[in-house]
Structure 1
Amino acid sequence: MNGLRVDWARPWLAHCSALGAPAEANARHQAVAAALQATSTATPMRFVPQDALPPEEAYEAFIFRTGEVPTRDNLHDFFNGLAWLQFPQTKRRLNELQAAEIARRGIGADRGPLRDALTLFDENGAVLDAPPALWKALLARDWHRLFVTERARWSEARLLLFGHALIEKLTVPRKGLTAHVLMAPGALQSIYPRDECIAEALSATHLATKPFMPLPVLGVPGWWPENDDFCFYDDPNVFRPRRPP
């Protein structure tokens, strides 16, 4: 696998470093699909080279039909495979919903609101388990309250980055990188960041409403040394106020 080495000590990788570090080490010497397959223990999915995907078949439909995940030799597909290993129930649920929507609507220029939301969560999603005070500040996009006034409450919170594209981008951290935090059905309910709990929260009807809140991930206390200086949050290009209705 070409590209950057992964710094597994980063706090946003704490949930997947035990599986990810040895898999990445193996991927330096063999195809990513083979490295992931050698690591696979908890999922019946198989990782196969990208050329196993027929050119006329949609990626999601192929996975649903065969139980095989076409995988290229790059970091993006490595982190996608790692998500399959770490969160098999959630990834299967996303795939089931994608495949059902493809079967219903076919493949066209317009993916529709449900497939857009599924892709957004799969690529860039996150799950937050936090006290109500943090949720209220996040919903208001009151960044000063979220990260400064209520800073001590982050010791009670857990932010889990699910989206593999977001995690890939964080191999070169940039201040503006933003997760889309899934809001569970029921305005302020949080989801305990376990595979089965996330999968259960993925309702097609709810997801079609795009129930996500943006969260600049390097603003999380303890995740980036520069945010110890509270001027970090004064950047309106990253910490944008909520637009009036």
Structure 2
Amino acid sequence: MQAYEAELPGFAAIDWSKPWFAPFAQRGKRWQQAALTSYEALLAAMNADAGEMRQITGRGQRLAFIAQDDLPPGAAYEAHIASTGCVPTRHNLHDFFNASMWFAFPRIKAALNARQSAAIDVLGIGPTRGGVRDTLTLFDENALLFPCADPALSAALRGFDWHALLVARREAWGASCEVRCFGHALMEKLIAPFKACTGHAWIVDVPAAYFEWDAVKRDAWLDESVAAALLNTDALTSRMFAPLPVLGIPGWWQENDSPAFYDDTSVFRTGRRAR
């Protein structure tokens, strides 16, 4: 098994106090220490948790993590996971965060895998993924979950009305809407956050009572609801997402305490409203 020593400073750089990482810190800190020890130690920690949690993949196979080199030549990544339950995993941040989501939102990850593998069954592996697979990949790599109990806030996000969403209704965050990171490529980028870093928000309509639940119940509800939507929506397209600059989320970045933070139109664009 190859040791990717050049990747180790990346693992050390994870700051679990950041709001985008904090929900995953309990398991993540253990995995981080394993990753800093060796590739073998990281896979062992992941597989110990998988055995305890008894997670399954898109076709009901028991979840496990294998070295990237153990993926058979010519095998499609998603199809291999669906048929064997084994997730090829490299010793890097990208795959570290991908594995984390199998535990944070297991039903969503299984739904993504089920849809991806079903598309491969029909269309095979070609030079392009096709619209549905592109949308599933975008979700997997860059999604933010946006639970919201106030239609006006959802409309502001869809309409690029940043002032309404992030300034005028700032007090609504945590009471009527919130964000959970999901995309593992997005989380990798947030190791070194920058103002233009943008996630693709998947809006989830939630009951008002959602914001009275604890984090465990909220995440379980999101996991079940979003997974069902991914499995039961035929026409998945990228237009179902709404761009959301991550550092603009109230409480996630100190500089956005000032309304002037949102005056940067290169980041907080007018988007579809202008069209």
Query: TM-score scaled by structure 1?
Result: 0.93
Hey, what does 1:149 align to over in structure 2?
Answer: 168
Larger deviation, residues 31-40 vs 141-150: 31-40
Distance 1:61 1:169 in 2: 27
Long gaps (5+) in structure 2: 1-6, 56-61, 208-217
Distance 2:48 2:72 in 1: 24
Superposed, 1:77-226 pairs within 5 Å as: 77-130=95-148, 131-156=150-175, 157-183=177-203, 189-190=205-206, 193=219, 194-202=222-230, 203-208=232-237, 210-226=239-255
Contact 1:125 1:179 in 2 (8 A): yes
Contact 1:147 1:220 in 2 (8 A): yes
Judged with a 3 Å threshold, the aligned counterparts in structure 2 of structure 1 residues 7 and 209 are, in CA distance, closer, same or farther, namely closer
After TM superposition, give the deviation of residue 9 of structure 1 in Å. Answer: 0.6
| Aligned-pair identity (%) | 45
Hey, what does 1:21 align to over in structure 2?
Answer: 29
Larger deviation, residues 28-37 vs 142-151: 28-37
Secondary structure (helix, strand or coil) at the match of 1:17 reads: helix
Secondary structure (helix, strand or coil) at the match of 1:129 reads: strand
Contact 1:128 1:190 in 2 (8 A): no
Q: Select 1:69's aligned residue among 77, 87, 97.
A: 87
Contact 1:126 1:182 in 2 (8 A): yes
Secondary structure (helix, strand or coil) at the match of 1:121 reads: helix
AA partner of residue 64 (structure 1): A
Contact 1:36 1:47 in 2 (8 A): yes
After TM superposition, give the deviation of residue 209 of structure 1 in Å. Answer: 5.8
AA partner of residue 16 (structure 1): F
Long gaps (5+) in structure 1: none
After TM superposition, give the deviation of residue 47 of structure 1 in Å. Answer: 0.4
After TM superposition, give the deviation of residue 239 of structure 1 in Å. Answer: 0.3
Q: Deviations over 1:88-124 (max 9, x none)?
A: 1111110010000011011111211100000000000
After TM superposition, give the deviation of residue 234 of structure 1 in Å. Answer: 0.6
Please identify which structure carries the higher helix content: 2
AA partner of residue 131 (structure 2): P
Q: Select 1:52's aligned residue among 53, 58, 70.
A: 70
RMSD of the alignment, in Å? 1.7
Find runs of 4+ consecutive structure 1 residues off by over 4 angstroms.
Answer: 190-193
Secondary structure (helix, strand or coil) at the match of 1:69 reads: strand
Hey, what does 1:36 align to over in structure 2?
Answer: 46
